[in-house]
Amino acid sequence: MTLSVFLVPCISLEKQERVELFIDKHRGDFYNYCSKYRLNGALSLYLLKYIFIYNIKVNIGYFLLQAYTYLKGLTMLLSYSDCLQKWQSDYQIKKQIAEGNLYKIERGVYSDVPDVSSLAVISFKYPKGIMTMDSAFYYHGLTDVIPDEFHIATDKHSIYINDKRVHQYYVLSDLLNIGVTTIDRRDATIRIYDKERMLIELLRFKNKFPFDYYKEIIGNYRNLIYDLDIERIQDYAESFPRSKMISDALEMEVL
């Protein structure tokens, strides 16, 4: 059964062929975005109905993200380019702001709501960044210490993030994406290293953490040892320099 069969109640018959052509043309992008934003079949079909009912001709990824954001209850953030794509001109953007339909949060960042967390803004501005170190420990509930900065890992070849709110870590390309996951926090979905990856980081850089801070976090890891994927930690460790040291520390400190 084709997707357009599900759309019949929502669009006129003369648009059926256009629907099929559109789906065939964008099928790869469509399913890639569905996978990326974890959209289920019902939501995906809902979105296609929305696109064709109103005959909106814009990038499908933008509307997938918009629908996902709306249904998840997250804040919709837009870049200036996104705004131009939606409202066509700077004049119309300013008109939307004047009418209270759009809010300028900071330079190059706009939202559909007036109050947006710094976490949401940072995640939006640096989408390839990954929360690590102090930020990851805090967002995973491993410490009560609120970081003064957002600790973000980027590829070692990335440009410098000139933002006083960000503490940037340059990571080797072959290590960068090990243990990356996403979590919802307040009004944002953030990319972050999972707890297993962060345990390795904690052990690797033990001497760089204040003693009490380290003891708090390692104690919390011991408390949730049965919730951790030990095999995953061991697999991760093999990819890092000094893997034997990491494995030994894991045995002594946690297991």
Spatial strand order in the sheet of 150-155: 166-171, 150-155, 130-131, 188-193, 180-185
- Per-residue pLDDT tens digits for 186-203: 788 899 999 999 999 999
Distance CA(19)–CA(117), nearest Å, equals 38
- pLDDT confidence tier of residue 243, bands split at 50, 70 and 90: confident
pLDDT for 185: 83
- Beta partners for 77? 111
Distance CA(47)–CA(76), nearest Å, equals 16
Residue 152's CB is within 10 A of a number of other CB atoms, namely 27
Tokens of 185: 């926090």
Tokens of 143: 């410490």
On the question of pLDDT at 63 being above 60, the answer is no
Tokens of 166: 């960000």
pLDDT for 8: 36
Distance CA(24)–CA(16), nearest Å, equals 12
- pLDDT confidence tier of residue 114, bands split at 50, 70 and 90: confident
Q: What are phi and psi of 202, to 5 degrees?
A: -60, -45
Closest listed residue to residue 129, CA positions, set 192, 174, 40: 192
- Per-residue pLDDT tens digits for 84-93: 988 999 999 9
Percent of the chain with pLDDT over 90: 50
pTM score, whole prediction: 0.69
Q: What are phi and psi of 184, to 5 degrees?
A: -90, 130
Higher pLDDT, 234 or 59: 234
pLDDT for 64: 53
